[in-house]
């Protein structure tokens, strides 16, 4: 059997391919040489499965899509507070390249140029590497392959970087930049000239979708709170001057670049990247936007589409043994706060006596931190009530099997093993 | 056993109770008579379980927290387009009561006063009821009990409603309001004077959290797309002039009222309401904000805390029967796009032959629309490959049990029944 | 002989009469009934000579041209400080009817609607008259005839005064208005409905041009500092959102009204009024603007066209008498600071001795305050030096003929009388 | 006798000398070395008489007071239209160094830094001189002595010119600047480093006050329309963000510089310059402002203090000769539009007959263009009525002595000469 996902993505491309509106970026001369008809679409699951169709191997410059990743890098290196001192998190309601600051002198957010240049200036220099090279290496690690600079685009953009230089000097004036703005702007432009394909983008995005862990290696590349910050800022500030419109209609944290790329990340679910060089008046890829909207609508990929959690965390509950003195709970699904709350509510039905309670976690697919803590709190309370509590947990998800009161729990591989005893 | 949730909520109240900063709303004289030390906290799960602690039975006026519900009502009655013609969805970056409009003359969003007054003007009048009475009935239905107006607060606010009257006349000037602004502003102020408790608020919020369905009655009160729109706007515009700060630090769509209430809704998970009358300079309850922040942090209730989906939708896979010709998949967890994608990826391992494939859905806790469509597409493809596909689905979640190609599927109550055949 | 001024004004009308662009005010229904082809032009000298051509006897509502006069009235009654507490003097850079305030909550200036409504609210009520009636009487005094209200225009405007009511409630919100905004807005609209002709306007304007004195009666109607304040504000704020453009190209303090009138006042020189109902997009009379520009250009009527003052305040100087011991100065022209400075500079040429100095003021056309003080200071110094100083001043412009040191001066009617002695 | 003007100016200095508030400019390190207690005041009449007291020979950098002169230079060289294409004339309502543009991309006016940098870029380069050198030569011509650059201040400011570089690149971005912004900003900063004393400033200002003519040489250095434009812009934009306040209270077109200078120019009357290094929060000299306010108030030097023109242009009128057939008018004062209008009005009293009319201009101190044209028109009309018109004009101010209808007038040196005939 072939999975229908690539066909679906190809179908999405087909539907937008007739759209020839928009035009190539003209403010960077080199970008005007792109083939305007190119179009590509890719998707990655949180576990790292990548689907890609169209001109999936065409490299283009990452441009502004580099902003969330550089932001992630400096957050990871410096911590949230130090970065917030220099760059805010509020939507600007302005075009991405506006020459303006917030009332407190800080750039309003890291997704507009002033904020991104400031973010670039915060890269801690080490090993005598240039700042852009440090970011290239970081992005290469996220992408899982060695990325390169596009020297021609870099050289082309440097020549006419008047607007970014104006922003750089403005930031130097108010003390947000602390060194030569020309160097920093050059570094920022170099960062923007890193070459990626849509496959690279979804790979990089999948690490954000997966809470900071590279699913293919199991390695944590970004802290969970860094990822939360980056996605929050992409949500409220990523699509510039129409944050509210994007949130209501598409509902996917996203960032676009003037070379024609768009990257969207839905936490815990997927990352999506689209590419097509013709831009609308906001500098976003016309077809890219169209594809993102279609995917959100067709696949229910909207941040506010909160799937109602399982209302049946308890798959079955029965009593067995002498005088039906053993109560057996078979659980299933994901154990987060919501489910844990429900489970503990059900446990309230247990009388205060010395009966045995067996909880079978075999069919639980995932246990979240808060879910685990609440579960263990519930177990403690059952024991306090006089019960013996036995667990079936073949995958040993509770690791040390100790409650908050440090009681050691009896954990069995499966029900049969337990019943034998 | 007692569930620890109420204790946890009480603990949250305890921690904020020493905070005596802020002061009572002074712009509505009647509100200045509130007891400043009152404090209450409530939470509702999506399935309608309500926890409440503190001054949980104290009634206070809903004030601006009425805005998302009136918005929901008119969206439900008129559809999205008609409402968007009159009110935008962009964050305003301004105080809630600013006398200003967007460039296109529309109020920027329905959470600021100009947008809320406009929203109130859109209530379709029927049965000769006043607009505020229609909203009172709608909110009573959401709350599950008959809510009342606070006539004293209403009378008090009407007397000094200069700012809202200024906004009303401004809206009339540009044609956004089409009838007498005095009537509309009076209706809006009456809507704001509906009395609620924190328990009412979380009940009303739980219907948003649950995708529009009242979990206690199973009745759909709001369409799914209406809920998505309301929550999106609460997220980007609900907490006024610091939308980005609220999104990054708390990450819960929320709305506050000047009587001291705050309501937060996390789609698919919970609704939370806090109440304490002392306000900060933005007009938000000081303790309410503190409690919301603590809950978000402690319980991982942040929109960008996307729990990585189950990576093990397939609990087990084994072959049985003659020549191991029958392939049996036992699934578990929630079946959404992400899981369906993974499942179909696994199905790709099946050779193209005439073998039988059994899929056991017994332990699946929930099947999402897109998940179902993809699953049935996968089944069709397996059949196209030559396989016989048999399902075990005791809860009959696939209802008609027909694939997209309209094939009737064999559905069994349990594995035993199937094996018998 | 006939003076050519009326012919010149008629010529100016002729040149603009083909201009049919612009359209009637539509926001006040009654104004849409005006005859769009009407056109009138009038001019008054500071001594009250009025020239008027075209539809010079057509009455139209004064509208916003009432603003400087009401401002003058409250300044005269309350003094500058009390008025400045409520209304600023800065150009707004906005349309006249903008619903907005300055950072300090005050309307930015009295020429925009918010400032004019506030100004109206400051009219001290006396004799149980309505505020608009008080203003009608004041304007009638300035115009030298009894002016009337246009009840039809008033009634028409009241019906759709949404914008002004919005502004009124906004001002009430911030405490700039202290009583019912509906009453004040009604009063303001009534003030705007006073009927005038271009002749009335130039008569009223001539009192501003003449430093507050009605030249035809010799009666002071406004203090000099009130006039200076009113003209300053007309200059910087009168022509709305293009103050700088108006100042550079026309250079005449001015105010227009939506019924088609424009009034310009050049201090010390003339007042000019034009009328024609068709308006441009700013709400200014198209032909009115054209006529004002032509008059400014043709007649050198620009505030910055400072005519270099007389460089020959001393018409002749000669010595006579025994040993040429008497020095005679024959002066001419206007004696202001500039001329007095020059005169005293010339007096420096007198040696320190006991010679007689005769100063003939017969041909001096005007003596300004500062000019007089400096002149008397110079006389004192000449006497200190030992001189006898004799004056010829048939018109007795130095009144008491005492110096600062309280010396009594010898003043003669003419040179012959003096020489006799 | 000594003129009291220097004593008066010294008195003004005395009164402000105790004011030690404000602080030295800190953004240019070199300026922080100034002696904060220095204070100087100077005044020039339109005929070039200069009074100066205090630290009148101390040189300081001209800074922003160079802006009106460079504006004058490029207006003179390029004409108004070409300059208006690049820089507007509207008050900005912002600080002088704001990094922002008008809606049409042009700097709002030439008195803020963005406008001044643009103005500098318009200097036509000739003789291979640098732009700042061209301006130094032009200012030296105005000042009547060779001015120098302060190389230390220039070098100091160049090092930290971040804000001006930001503005320069912003202007380059939108195409207002057309060449390398670094060069232009350097030239602008060099222009600001020209050294002047208060005496230089009032000399330069007196040329503006005198309509563009250097009174000491009689040479026209600037066209009349250039002067009008420069003074208009100084009036509305010179004192930055409080244009209206300055216009109402001081009423003198002015410009200040951060080295502590202020220059004010009252057209047709005087120029005034003050200097003292301590600045207020707007960057204006604290004592300088105080002295300007005092001078305006004490001496009636306010643009809106229009001195009522002479109401007695006709000093005497009598009839003589046979049958009193000769009508003799003796005029006095200044003959501008206002007086000419009045004179012609008086001529209307002449019957239509063949009598002789004698007009004696001996005591007329000045004849303005418009005044002359109207006078000659009146003479033509008297002749048309049948009169013989004879003039007494010893200074031959009517030059060619021809009317508009090209009639040759009989002009006599004095009344005696005429009576002899």
Give residue B244's pLDDT band: very low, low, confident or very high (50, 70, 90): confident
- The bridge status of strand B261-266 relative to strand B219-220 is unpaired
Q: How far apart are CA B329 and CA A163, in angstroms?
A: 59
Q: How near does any CA of chain D get to the CA of A103, in Å?
A: 13
Q: Is D102 near chain C, with CB under 8 Å?
A: no
B contact chains, 3+ CB pairs < 8 A: A, C
Q: How far apart are CA D215 and CA D175, in angstroms?
A: 40
Q: How far apart are CA D203 and CA D199, in angstroms?
A: 6
Q: How near does any CA of chain C get to the CA of D179, in Å?
A: 28
Instruction: Tell me the C-alpha to C-alpha distance, in Å, between residue A418 and each of A322, B393, D105.
Output: 16, 28, 79
CB-nearest partner of B303 from A49, A299, A303: A303
At D203 the pLDDT is 98
End-to-end CA distance of chain B: 44
- Within 8 A by CB and 6+ apart from B26, the residues are B32
Q: Is A95 near chain B, with CB under 8 Å?
A: no
Q: How many residues in total does chain C contain?
A: 421
At D310 the pLDDT is 44
Q: What are the residues facing B313 on neighbouring strands?
A: none
How many CB atoms lie under 10 A from the CB of residue D37? Answer: 12
- Picking from C320, C314, C351, C336, the residue whose alpha carbon sits closest to that of residue C268 is C336
With contact defined as beta carbons under 8 Å apart, do C193 and C154 qualify? yes
Give pLDDT tens digits for A183-212. 999 999 999 999 999 999 999 999 999 889
Helix, strand, coil content of chain D in percent (nearest 5): 45, 20, 40
Q: How far apart are CA B327 and CA A212, in angstroms?
A: 35
Give pLDDT tens digits for A278-290. 999 888 999 999 9
Across the range A285-308, mean pLDDT stands at 85
- Picking from A59, A53, A57, the residue whose alpha carbon sits closest to that of residue A13 is A53
SS3 D247: helix
Across the range D394-401, mean pLDDT stands at 75
With contact defined as beta carbons under 8 Å apart, do D253 and C306 qualify? no
Q: Which candidate in A158, A164, A165, A186 is best for mutational testing of the D interface (most D CBs within 10 A)?
A: A165
Which of B122-131, C20-29, D96-105 shows the highest mean pLDDT?
Answer: B122-131
Give percent above pLDDT 90 in chain A: 55
Of the ranges B330-334, C152-156, D222-226, which one carries the lowest mean pLDDT score?
Answer: B330-334
Give residue B307's pLDDT band: very low, low, confident or very high (50, 70, 90): low
With contact defined as beta carbons under 8 Å apart, do A221 and B237 qualify? no
Across the range D120-148, mean pLDDT stands at 96
Give pLDDT tens digits for C287-332. 999 999 998 887 778 888 765 554 567 888 888 888 888 899 988 8
A contact chains, 3+ CB pairs < 8 A: B, D
Give percent above pLDDT 70 in chain C: 95
Across the range B388-395, mean pLDDT stands at 88
CB contact under 8 A, B173 and C163: yes
CB contact under 8 A, A46 and B309: yes
D178 → chain A, closest CA residue: A162
DSSP assignment of A104-133, as one string? TSS-S-TTSHHHHHHHHHTPPP-TT--HHH
- Picking from C218, C154, C220, C214, the residue whose alpha carbon sits closest to that of residue C186 is C154
Across the range A235-246, mean pLDDT stands at 81
C174 → chain B, closest CA residue: B163
Give pLDDT tens digits for A363-407. 887 787 778 888 888 899 999 999 999 999 887 777 666 777 888
B310 pLDDT more than 50? no
Residues 27-46 of D with CB under 8 A from C: 45-46
Mean pLDDT of chain A: 89
Q: How far apart are CA C47 and CA B214, in angstroms?
A: 83
Give pLDDT tens digits for B141-170. 999 999 999 999 999 999 989 999 999 999
Q: How near does any CA of chain D get to the CA of A96, in Å?
A: 15
Give residue C81's pLDDT band: very low, low, confident or very high (50, 70, 90): very high
At A310 the pLDDT is 44
Does A171 or A268 have the greater pLDDT score? A171
CB contact under 8 A, A248 and B233: yes
With contact defined as beta carbons under 8 Å apart, do D377 and C4 qualify? yes
- Picking from C281, C285, C280, C261, the residue whose alpha carbon sits closest to that of residue C271 is C261
Across the range D11-25, mean pLDDT stands at 90
CATH topology of domain A5-299: Beta-lactamase (3.40.710)
Structure tokens at B415: 């594995």
Burial C363-393 (b: 16+ CB within 10 A, else e): bbbbbbebbbbbbbbbbbbbbebebebbbbb
Q: How many residues in total does chain D contain?
A: 421
Mean pLDDT of chain C: 89
Give percent above pLDDT 70 in chain B: 95
A100 pLDDT more than 90? no
Residues of chain B with CATH 3.30.750.24: 314-420
- Name the packing angle between helices A162-173 and D162-173 (round to 10°): 160
Of the ranges A148-152, B129-133, D330-334, which one carries the lowest mean pLDDT score?
Answer: D330-334
Structural Rg of chain A based on CA atoms: 26
Q: How far apart are CA B139 and CA B66, in angstroms?
A: 9
**Chain D residues with beta carbon closer than 8 angstroms to that of A159:** none
A241 pLDDT more than 70? no
Q: Is D107 near chain A, with CB under 8 Å?
A: no
- Secondary structure of D145-184 in the HEC alphabet? CCCCECHHHHHHHHHCCHHHHHHHHHHHHCCCCCCCHHHH
Q: Where are the beta strands (DSSP E) in B336-409?
A: 356-367, 388-392
Q: How far apart are CA B263 and CA B202, in angstroms?
A: 7
D306 pLDDT more than 70? no
Q: Which candidate in D220, D365, D383 is best for mutational testing of the C interface (most C CBs within 10 A)?
A: D365
How many CB atoms lie under 10 A from the CB of residue D276? Answer: 31
Q: Please state the residue numbers annotated as binding site of A for substrate.
A: 64, 113, 157, 164, 188, 240, 258
A245 pLDDT more than 90? no
D401 pLDDT more than 70? no
Across the range B268-294, mean pLDDT stands at 92
At A395 the pLDDT is 79
Span B314-420 CATH architecture: 2-Layer Sandwich (3.30)
A17 pLDDT more than 60? yes
CB contact under 8 A, C168 and B166: yes
- Picking from A257, A320, A309, the residue whose alpha carbon sits closest to that of residue A283 is A257
CB contact under 8 A, D334 and C334: yes
Give percent above pLDDT 90 in chain D: 55
Does B394 or B92 have the greater pLDDT score? B394
D174 → chain A, closest CA residue: A163
Across the range B229-254, mean pLDDT stands at 88
Q: Is C370 near chain D, with CB under 8 Å?
A: yes
Q: Which candidate in A341, A384, A405 is best for mutational testing of the B interface (most B CBs within 10 A)?
A: A341
CB-nearest partner of A363 from B224, B315, B378: B315
Q: Is A180 exposed, middle or buried (CB count within 10 Å of its CB: 0-12, 13-18, 19+)?
A: exposed
Does A372 or A132 have the greater pLDDT score? A132
Which of B317-331, B384-398, D77-91 shows the highest mean pLDDT?
Answer: D77-91
Q: What are the residues facing C266 on neighbouring strands?
A: C270
**Chain A residues with beta carbon closer than 8 angstroms to that of D168:** 166
Instruction: Please identify which residue in the block is written with the tokens 């700060």.
Output: B245
Q: How far apart are CA C94 and CA C102, in angstroms?
A: 11
CB contact under 8 A, A49 and B345: yes
Instruction: Please identify which residue in the block is written with the tokens 């005092």.
Output: D294
Give pLDDT tens digits for C25-80. 877 788 888 899 999 999 998 878 899 999 999 999 999 999 999 999 999 999 99
Residues 178-217 of B with CB under 8 A from C: 181
At C273 the pLDDT is 98
Across the range D152-170, mean pLDDT stands at 94
Give pLDDT tens digits for C217-226. 989 999 989 9
CB-nearest partner of A4 from B209, B232, B344: B344
With contact defined as beta carbons under 8 Å apart, do A157 and A189 qualify? yes
How many CB atoms lie under 10 A from the CB of residue D142? Answer: 22
**Chain B residues with beta carbon closer than 8 angstroms to that of C95:** none
Residues of chain A with CATH 3.40.710.10: 5-299
Give pLDDT tens digits for C352-407. 888 999 999 988 877 877 788 888 888 999 999 999 999 998 877 776 667 778 88
Does D27 or C229 have the greater pLDDT score? C229
**Chain B residues with beta carbon closer than 8 angstroms to that of A299:** 337, 370
At B311 the pLDDT is 53
Q: What is the value of pTM for the model shown?
A: 0.87
CB contact under 8 A, D307 and C209: no
Helix, strand, coil content of chain A in percent (nearest 5): 45, 20, 40
What's the half-sphere exposure (Cβ side, CA atoms, 13 Å) at A355?
A: 19
Give residue D164's pLDDT band: very low, low, confident or very high (50, 70, 90): very high
Instruction: Tell me the C-alpha to C-alpha distance, in Å, between residue D267 and each of B324, C187, C385, D254, D271.
Output: 107, 41, 35, 11, 8
């Amino acid at each position: 059997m072939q999975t229908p996902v690539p066909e679906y993505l190809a179908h999405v491309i087909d539907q937008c391919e007739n759209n020839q509106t928009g035009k190539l970026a003209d403010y960077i001369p080199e970008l005007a040489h792109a083939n305007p008809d190119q179009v590509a679409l890719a998707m990655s699951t949180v576990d790292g499965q990548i689907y890609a169709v169209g001109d999936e191997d065409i490299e283009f410059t990452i441009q502004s899509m580099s902003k969330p990743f550089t932001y992630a890098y400096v957050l990871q290196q410096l911590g949230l507070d130090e970065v917030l001192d220099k760059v805010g998190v509020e939507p600007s309601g302005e075009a991405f390249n506006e020459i303006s600051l917030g009332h407190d002198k800080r750039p309003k957010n890291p997704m507009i140029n002033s904020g991104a240049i400031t973010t670039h200036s915060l890269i801690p220099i080490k090993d005598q590497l240039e700042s852009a090279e440090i970011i290239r290496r970081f992005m290469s690690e996220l992408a899982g392959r060695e990325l390169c600079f596009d020297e021609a685009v870099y050289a082309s953009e440097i020549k006419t970087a008047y607007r970014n230089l104006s922003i750089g000097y403005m930031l130097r004036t108010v003390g947000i930049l602390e060194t030569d703005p020309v160097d920093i702007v050059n570094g920022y432009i170099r960062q923007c000239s890193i070459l990626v394909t849509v496959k690279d983008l979804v790979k990089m995005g999948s690490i954000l979708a997966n809470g900071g862990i590279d699913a293919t290696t199991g390695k944590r590349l970004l802290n969970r709170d860094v990822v939360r910050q980056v996605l929050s800022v992409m949500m409220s500030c990523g699509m510039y001057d129409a944050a509210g419109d994007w949130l209501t209609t598409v509902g996917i944290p996203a960032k676009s670049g003037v070379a024609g790329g768009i990257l969207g990340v839905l936490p815990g679910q997927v990352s999506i990247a689209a590419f097509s060089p013709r831009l609308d008046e906001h500098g976003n890829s016309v077809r890219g936007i169209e594809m993102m909207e279609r995917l959100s609508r067709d696949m229910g990929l909207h941040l506010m589409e909160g799937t109602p959690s399982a209302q049946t965390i308890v798959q079955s509950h029965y009593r067995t043994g002498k005088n039906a003195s053993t109560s057996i709970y078979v659980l299933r699904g994901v154990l987060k706060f919501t489910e844990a709350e429900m489970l503990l509510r059900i446990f309230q039905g247990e009388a205060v006596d010395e009966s045995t309670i067996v909880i079978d976690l075999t069919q639980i697919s995932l246990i979240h931190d808060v879910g685990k803590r609440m579960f263990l709190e519930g177990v403690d309370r059952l024991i306090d009530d006089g019960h013996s509590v036995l667990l079936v947990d073949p995958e040993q998800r509770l690791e040390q099997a100790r409650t908050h009161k440090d009681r050691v729990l009896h954990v069995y591989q499966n029900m049969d093993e337990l019943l034998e005893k």
